[in-house]
Amino acid sequence: MAYLSAISRRLCRNYPSPFHRLLQLIHFHIPDSPSQAFHRTLLLPSLSARRFSAPPFFSQKLDHPLRGRFRNHHPDETRSSQFFELVKRAARSPSEEEAITALEEVEIQADPDLVNSAIWVLRDDWKQSFLAFKWGEKWGSVDGSSCNLMIWVLGNHKKFGTAWCLIREFLGSLIDARQAMLIMIDRYAYANEASKAIKTFHMMEKFRLTPDREAFHALLDSLCKYGNIEEAEEFMLVNKKLFPLETESFNIILNGWCNVSVDVFEAKRIWREMSKCCIVPDSASYTHMISCFSKTGNLFDSLRLYDEMKKRNWVPSLEVYNSLAYVLTRENCFSEALKILEKVKEVGLQPDSTSYNSLIRPLCEAGKLDEARDVLTMMMEERIGPTTETYHSFIQGAGFERGFELLKQMSKDGLGPSEATFVIMLNKSFESEQPDYALKTWEVMKRYDVSPDSEHYSVLIQGLATCGQLTQAREFYDEMISRGFIAHPKIKLLLKEPEVDSIEEARQQVVRQKKKGKIFHHKKGSMMRLKSHKKQPREDASFE
């Protein structure tokens, strides 16, 4: 997506970030550039499952690329900061005309870079972003990049009607129809509106566009990465006459089951379906399956597929070795996991931060903090610094007070803490049935200028309600609604006046589910099914 890459490069010039080593998170996939809005989920083992998770499709402050990378560092910082603040004040005007007039009172030279930067910086409030866009339009300072970015922001806030009006207004002049359709498809999928994403794909013909295989794959990918995997699979099969089944299409579906929902049963089914359709798995297919088995602690099948992959002359990638390192460490084969790092070097690859984090994460999950620190030392000796994921792993395994200390170190290293960091801490507090630490985390979050979003509120409210603190839960619920967030219907049910012993019954039910290994997984766009994965017996592994 060259046009979105251009936006990214321009924003990078306007907002240079000193922290280029920032790693994308596991549970909270944060793309580095708008172009990655169409890229697949990273093939990394996930952190431990979360009991209290917000349904992302009810969030109004939605996920976006480049989050947190661009603070106010415009080459003309004073000029841009004044303009951003002016837009915020003008957005409170009763009408658009009055708002535009207010912007004209300050003499600021309009240019596309300033307009694009304003749209991006103000993206959490679509009205402010749209006001900056309209101001730029009046002065002839919007271009195709401005339109594409504005459509993306409107889609984030489910303002699809306004987005379509924008497309119709600038179609043929500033907006490329194909690019606009792909953005709308992606945003519909993000908003859990799979049917409308598919309808937009079919609408391409009305814009005299041919829905080609590239657009077909973009649709499948958008549906899968936001959790609408069943819809994507059905669409692929229904359209097999127009788009014959091939490896890449199956890989997109396989990636969804393996790395988005992490559903081994469905992943195996797709693997068998590929064989029935005479579709030959390629390197990516094996990479997805090994990643899935790794995440669920299935050491035997991870190694089996690794051997099969080599026999079929597919060269394992670094992602494959990272997955093996993770599952070996998780299944108490730490010495063999260390041999993976040596194996990586032997085959001409270089271990990266993800490789070391694949060892650190399961060690921290198992409470083996001393071994995790040893791996961190090895990592530093290789001149690879800790990443956000590294800190998240240690926060997950450390005590609560130590976790707060790690936040300070994260801040010093320029690696956060981020919104995702505090979701992890809130979940950890409620999993340990320590609501007081959750409330402390909420206060600490404000010190780091992290504004709570829908997910933070949902985790806190669900946790407090489950722990029996309904009064506080209702107070945070009211605050959540007053800030314009939409609450999931299940949250409303939790806040109803409980019947006798209902709180204790709910708590016992959570304990029973935890013992059975049945945890709610919330993915973008859909609620994943409850599933229990039995651990595979540990197998002797050797990479000699």
Q: State pLDDT tens for residues 482-535.
A: 887 877 788 888 887 655 455 566 566 655 555 554 444 344 433 333 333 333
Which single residue is written with the structure tokens 């920032």? 22
The Cβ of residue 226 has, within 10 Å, a number of other Cβ atoms equal to 29
Can you tell me the distance from the alpha carbon of 84 to that of 14, in angstroms, rounded to the nearest whole number?
14
Residue 250 lies inside a defined structural domain of this protein: yes
Our CA angle for 159, 165, 169, nearest 5°, is 145
Residue 101 lies inside a defined structural domain of this protein: no
Can you tell me the distance from the alpha carbon of 278 to that of 250, in angstroms, rounded to the nearest whole number?
12
Considering only residues 288 and 510, tell me which one the structure prediction assigns the higher pLDDT. Answer: 288
Contact between 318 and 325 under an 8 Å Cβ cutoff? The reply is no
Does the pLDDT value for residue 232 go beyond 60? yes
pLDDT tens digit string along 333-383? 999 999 999 999 999 999 999 999 999 999 999 999 999 999 999 999 999
Question: What confidence score (pLDDT) does residue 45 get?
Answer: 33
Question: What confidence score (pLDDT) does residue 80 get?
Answer: 81
Confidence of residue 67 (pLDDT cuts 50, 70, 90): very low
Q: How many domains does the chain have?
A: 1
Does the pLDDT value for residue 189 go beyond 50? yes
Residue 10 lies inside a defined structural domain of this protein: no
Can you tell me the distance from the alpha carbon of 218 to that of 249, in angstroms, rounded to the nearest whole number?
10
Mean pLDDT value of segment 168-196: 93
Residue 1 neighbours by CB under 8 Å, 6+ apart: 34, 35, 37, 38, 179, 182
The Cβ of residue 103 has, within 10 Å, a number of other Cβ atoms equal to 24
303 forms beta bridges with none
The Cβ of residue 236 has, within 10 Å, a number of other Cβ atoms equal to 20
Alpha helical stretches, state H, 27-176: 77-90, 96-104, 112-121, 126-138, 144-156, 160-170
Question: What confidence score (pLDDT) does residue 373 get?
Answer: 96
Residue 274 lies inside a defined structural domain of this protein: yes
Tell me phi and psi for residue 299, to 5 degrees. Answer: -65, -40
Mark residue 104 as left, alpha or beta (left: phi above 0; alpha: psi -120 to 50; beta: remaining).
Answer: alpha
- Give the range with max mean pLDDT: 200-209, 328-337, 503-512: 328-337
CA 142 to chain centre: 29
Can you tell me the distance from the alpha carbon of 207 to that of 175, in angstroms, rounded to the nearest whole number?
12
Whether the CA torsion 494, 495, 501, 503 is positive or negative: it is positive
Can you tell me the distance from the alpha carbon of 361 to that of 201, in angstroms, rounded to the nearest whole number?
40
Question: What confidence score (pLDDT) does residue 510 get?
Answer: 56
Whether the CA torsion 226, 421, 383, 328 is positive or negative: it is negative
Can you tell me the distance from the alpha carbon of 320 to that of 306, in angstroms, rounded to the nearest whole number?
8
Mean pLDDT value of segment 140-156: 94
Share of the chain above pLDDT 70, in %: 77
Considering only residues 255 and 484, tell me which one the structure prediction assigns the higher pLDDT. Answer: 255
The CA distances from residue 44 to 233, 329, 359, 405, 538, in Å, are: 22, 14, 12, 27, 21
The Cβ of residue 41 has, within 10 Å, a number of other Cβ atoms equal to 20
Residue 498 lies inside a defined structural domain of this protein: no
Residue 79 lies inside a defined structural domain of this protein: no
- Locate 401 and state its tokens: 């007070």
Does the pLDDT value for residue 392 go beyond 80? yes
Can you tell me the distance from the alpha carbon of 178 to that of 455, in angstroms, rounded to the nearest whole number?
33
Domain hosting residue 293, numbered range? 245-316
pLDDT tens digit string along 7-64? 444 444 444 332 232 222 222 233 333 333 333 322 333 333 333 333 332 233 333 3
Our CA angle for 496, 502, 506, nearest 5°, is 100
Question: What confidence score (pLDDT) does residue 432 get?
Answer: 92
Mean pLDDT value of segment 270-278: 96
Alpha helical stretches, state H, 483-544: 489-494, 502-516
- CA nearest neighbour of 133 among 114, 158, 106, 108: 114
Question: What confidence score (pLDDT) does residue 92 get?
Answer: 86
Tell me phi and psi for residue 113, to 5 degrees. Answer: -65, -45
Residue 434 neighbours by CB under 8 Å, 6+ apart: 400
Cα torsion through 454, 520, 30, 406, rounded to 10: 80
Cα torsion through 180, 183, 184, 187, rounded to 10: -160
Least confident segment among 264-268, 410-414, 483-487: 483-487
Share of the chain above pLDDT 90, in %: 62
DSSP at 176 = -
Can you tell me the distance from the alpha carbon of 150 to that of 123, in angstroms, rounded to the nearest whole number?
9
Mean pLDDT for the chain? 81
pTM: 0.75
Mean pLDDT value of segment 224-241: 96
Residue 360 lies inside a defined structural domain of this protein: no
Contact between 111 and 141 under an 8 Å Cβ cutoff? The reply is yes
Angle, in degrees to the nearest 10, between helices 144-156 and 160-170: 160
pLDDT tens digit string along 436-456? 999 999 999 999 989 898 899
**How crowded is the C-beta side of 435, counted as CA atoms within 13 Å?**
14
Provide the residue count of the chain: 544
- Locate 36 and state its tokens: 């990655």
